[in-house]
Structure 1
Amino acid sequence: MADRDSLIADFLSRTAWAGARRAPLAGDASNRRYERLTDPATGRTAVLMDAPPVKGEDVRPFVRIAQFLRGAGLSAPEIFAEDTVYGFLLLEDLGDDLFARVLERRPDLENSLYEAGIDVLAALHAVDPPDLPSYDPALMSELAALAFDKYRSGVVGDANDGIRAEFVARFRQLLEHAATPERPVLIQRDYHAENLLWLPERSGPARVGLLDFQDAMLGHPAYDLVSLLQDARRDVPPAIETAMIDRFVTRTGADRAAFLPAYAVLGAQRNLRILGVFARLGMEHGKPHYVDLIPRVWRLLQHDLDHPALDPVATLLRAALPEPTPDNLQRLKRQ
């Protein structure tokens, strides 16, 4: 079987980018890798996505969701060429101005960038979504239990199967009651400052470039809002979080009385899942820098658990999950 470099060369030979210079781009937590291609004659650039199927990657969902988002007037990258058999895409280069990097240079733009992020969600939720699997209470409660399977287990040595089962049962009921949407929308599920690009030369919601949306499903309108405002990788000021929730509710006409409990419950679900995912990345994939993000995720979870909507599980979780002390975090790095 041909190696990846030979397959890439063959893929590019069938495009206008066969003679392009190639340079690696930063990857993500997946098995995908990226390169920036530069045309030596024109200086024009594109991005190569290398997503090996043998490692469980599949570019077809990315293609489908990108086409949907672009059809809705949003700035997902244009797809110049694709090879779904071997897992290659040639994409429009949306640049390097991730929200997170822009805000390091220009913290004065924080409000403007988050407003633009909210406007993308409002525009996306105004259109009928494609046919996708549902991010439903059964799946969400099991994914939240990764906090037991990976985080708790990694720290104390066991997941406490009895308490885990009790949590899943209670949390599923809670999600069914407080976070089942009347009208499901497309949720990108990883909508945060490291996956959003600032494109100020464009207008309206198109000013935000979108990445890492291939795992999109149907879910509650609050889910991507939580992803954006309860960011595992950067501190979002409470005043920004409050203002952006207000902006979202105003733009979408959401019922505030029902929306705020759903926001807290979905925040807890997401942060519990991330605790487990980051612990797994540290223990099983040799990526200890994700463990360093766990204290922020823990703080976000505690904030969510303070909401009355989480009363059915808050005491259980606080008793069952160990705090991310320096010693406990070190245990997650030593596996």
Structure 2
Amino acid sequence: MTDSIENLRAAERLAWARAALGHPSVELERASTDAGFRSYWRTVGHTPSRIVMDSPTDKEDVRPWLRMRDVLEAAGVRVPVVLAQDVDKGFLLLEDLGVNTYLQDIDAHNADAFFDAAIMQLIKLQKVDAPADLPRYDDEMLGRELHLFDTWFCGTHLGLSLSCEEMEQLDAAYRFLINNALAQNAVLVHRDFMPRNLMQADNGPAVLDFQDAVVGPIAYDVLSLFKDAFLSWPPERVDAWLQRYHAMADAEGLPVPALDAFVRDAELIGVQRHLKVIGIFARLHHRDSKPKYLADVPRFFDYLEGVLPKYPELSALAAFVHARVKPAMHALENAPQAPAA
């Protein structure tokens, strides 16, 4: 049944692309997928090549993506150009920005220049006058994200059963993180502003995957940029880039606090994000059959180990990770593998 549905969707996607381009012999090849339900397809046999975004309407409405794209473009943020659209079918025809994102192109030698360009785009994004009905990164959302860690990673993935005392300790750490996030000045937040969602382009980099934007803590996106899900940098370089962002944001009139307070805010919102992403990666594996993301979970524990000891309010969280989570991870990694069916 699944194969039949996918084949029907593929035929519909190809027919739509041919009609949108006015080119009856064009073909499509897979360009990329993301952690959601969208997929991207590059045209073959047509110059210049284009990208078809396929967003199945029963799984992921394309209209939030289009709406936020228009908001960002109006504010001068570089976003993909839309050449044709059919929101009822969930198809968009986009400019082709190439094969590589920042994730494939950035390295130790070009990182300063790449991140300077990314910061300039981020500042434009943060200066956007967000729509009044845009969701806020409020108490409920922050808490729901944090509980992905204990629910999906600790519970579902590691099989841990947490005691009432352990949950109380986690809840106290969560409350500390939430209070810090809510105390930060609020701006438009992309929520995944990282190298994988940036592509080199004229007047760029181009910003991708912005449909889940909210209004929230000013330190969130810049921390996401430098403590990425798929790429790690030496702490001293991260510190320098945070200072660079702070200076540029302050010069542009964004409401950043003094540098020391900003670094603290970035570190603490980073802990919230790291716990959330660890939970999301476990959910992608167990619920959505996308196991590859789990390989990057240790990176987030490395990030946590660099921050948790600095804050007494997070000592119980640090102890929980050390005493319960790490041993369970080690046991899972060393467990005998079931034979293939």
TM-score, structure 2 normalization: 0.85
Unmatched tracts of structure 2, length 5 or more: 251-255
Change beyond 3 A, Cα 1:198–1:237: farther
Is residue 2:281 matched to residue 1:278? yes
- Structure 1 counterpart of 2:295: 292
8 A contact 1:226–1:263 mirrored in 2: yes
CA–CA distance in structure 2, aligned partners of residues 95 and 289 of structure 1: 23
- Structure 2 counterpart of 1:231: 228
- Structure 2 counterpart of 1:34: 40
Unmatched tracts of structure 1, length 5 or more: none
User: Where do 4+ consecutive residues of structure 1 move more than 4 Å?
Assistant: 323-326
Q: CA RMSD in A?
A: 2.6
8 A contact 1:145–1:164 mirrored in 2: no
Which residue of the other structure, out of 59, 84, 89, is the alignment partner of 1:86?
Answer: 89
Report the CA distance between 1:325 and its aligned residue.
4.3
Report the CA distance between 1:5 and its aligned residue.
2.7
Is residue 2:265 matched to residue 1:262? yes
8 A contact 1:137–1:175 mirrored in 2: no
CA–CA distance in structure 2, aligned partners of residues 297 and 315 of structure 1: 13
SS at match of 2:92: strand
- Structure 2 counterpart of 1:185: 187
Report the CA distance between 1:66 and its aligned residue.
0.9
- Structure 2 counterpart of 1:148: 150
1:226 partner amino acid: L
- Residues 1-335 of structure 1 correspond to what in structure 2 (within 5 A)? 3-19=8-24, 20-38=26-44, 40=46, 43-54=47-58, 56-103=59-106, 107-131=108-132, 132-160=134-162, 162-163=164-165, 165-167=167-169, 169-181=171-183, 183-199=185-201, 202=202, 206-253=203-250, 254-255=256-257, 256-308=259-311, 310-311=313-314, 313-315=316-318, 317-318=320-321, 319-323=323-327, 325-329=329-333
Q: Deviations over 1:149-169 (max 9, x none)?
A: 111124542452635652564
318-327 vs 177-186, which deviates more? Answer: 318-327
Q: Deviations over 1:147-204 (max 9, x none)?
A: 11111124542452635652564245324432225542111111111111122xx3xx
CA–CA distance in structure 2, aligned partners of residues 159 and 223 of structure 1: 31
2:131 partner amino acid: P
CA–CA distance in structure 1, aligned partners of residues 130 and 334 of structure 2: 43
Change beyond 3 A, Cα 1:295–1:314: same
306-315 vs 266-275, which deviates more? Answer: 306-315
Report the CA distance between 1:328 and its aligned residue.
2.4
Report the CA distance between 1:249 and its aligned residue.
1.1
CA–CA distance in structure 1, aligned partners of residues 274 and 327 of structure 2: 14
SS at match of 2:293: helix
Change beyond 3 A, Cα 1:328–1:281: same
SS at match of 1:180: helix
Report the CA distance between 1:13 and its aligned residue.
4.8
8 A contact 1:187–1:220 mirrored in 2: yes
Change beyond 3 A, Cα 1:161–1:61: farther
Change beyond 3 A, Cα 1:66–1:277: same
CA–CA distance in structure 2, aligned partners of residues 158 and 165 of structure 1: 12
Report the CA distance between 1:264 and its aligned residue.
1.5
SS at match of 1:29: coil
Equivalenced residues, count: 324
2:159 partner amino acid: G
1:173 partner amino acid: R
8 A contact 1:17–1:37 mirrored in 2: no
Report the CA distance between 1:35 and its aligned residue.
0.3
CA–CA distance in structure 1, aligned partners of residues 245 and 91 of structure 2: 36
1:81 partner amino acid: A
CA–CA distance in structure 1, aligned partners of residues 334 and 55 of structure 2: 31
CA–CA distance in structure 2, aligned partners of residues 90 and 155 of structure 1: 38
CA–CA distance in structure 2, aligned partners of residues 176 and 326 of structure 1: 29
CA–CA distance in structure 2, aligned partners of residues 21 and 155 of structure 1: 40
Identity %, equivalent residues: 28
2:298 partner amino acid: P
CA–CA distance in structure 2, aligned partners of residues 238 and 17 of structure 1: 51
